[in-house]
Amino acid sequence: MSVTLGCRFAAASALPDALIQSHIDVLSPYQRQIEQKLQQFDPLVQEIFKQLDRYDLPDNLVLVPMLESSYNPQAISPAKAAGLWQLMPATAKRFGLKVSYQRDERFEIAPSTDAAIQYLAFLYRKFKGDLTLTLAAYNAGEGRVQRTLRASPNTPFHQLPLPRETQHYVRRFYALDSLINVSSLRHDNFQPILLFAGQQQWQKKPLIDLSPLPALISL
């Protein structure tokens, strides 16, 4: 079945549909695998919903780990971002995580999730509830986005001179959002006592070739 961008994506309204549709076409063959991965990590998905509610953040931010690492807690990128949320060392430390040779909490699901959602909440407030700018800042850093906005006022987002990777990141997020019915992921059978009980000491490996489903941003 062909999937197209629907009108429900108000936050994507500044992006031409064709730019997002091309990313939908890339992700569509992986839709079943994406849904299976979200089901596999359902306890964590429910915990993320709970934290998003706490900070009054949009539900679809539950898809950020799917985009960043395909919910792979052991992922490392060539740029040294790490873990489920692909946090850079400086960002992780800024939001209270330990990052050292002895212990790197970016690979630990609970603390890294707390830190990432605090960071997203900070960005969402800074950019006055603009989800597109929040996503861009999560990828490129809030300083880069702020400087770009000052230098290019009244410019549509897709025409801002941001890194190509950042424009790609935002479009792919909205494409993923169009494929996955985020509201259907919520349920009331959450058992928090089981959430992190089975987490092992994750072996740190490169982001590529770790899973049958690679990080969606890299497709």
User: 3-state secondary structure string, 158-201?
Assistant: HHCCCCHHHHHHHHHHHHHHHHCCHHHHCCCCCCHHHCCCCCCC
Whether residue 171 is contained in a domain is answered as yes
Whether residue 210 is contained in a domain is answered as no
The CATH number covering residue 66 comes to 1.10.530.10
For tokens 């849904």, the residue is: 35
Overall number of domains in the chain: 1
Contact 45, 34 (CB under 8 A): no
Whether residue 5 is contained in a domain is answered as no
Whether residue 212 is contained in a domain is answered as no
Whether residue 197 is contained in a domain is answered as no
The Cα 66–Cα 149 span in angstroms is: 28
In the set 68, 108, 142, 165, the catalytic residue is 68
Residue 217 is predicted with a pLDDT of 72
Any catalytic annotation for residue 68? yes
Strand partners, 76: 82, 206
The structure's pTM equals: 0.85
Which residue segment(s) compose the domain that 53 sits in? 15-182
pLDDT one digit per residue (tens) for the chain, 219 residues:
444 443 333 344 468 888 999 999 999 999 999 999 999 999 999 999 999 999 999 999 999 999 999 999 999 999 899 999 999 999 999 999 999 999 999 999 999 999 999 999 999 999 999 999 999 999 999 999 999 999 999 899 999 999 999 999 999 999 999 999 999 999 877 555 445 544 544 444 443 333 456 677 777
Whether residue 218 is contained in a domain is answered as no
The Cα 94–Cα 88 span in angstroms is: 10
Whether residue 8 is contained in a domain is answered as no
Whether residue 134 is contained in a domain is answered as yes
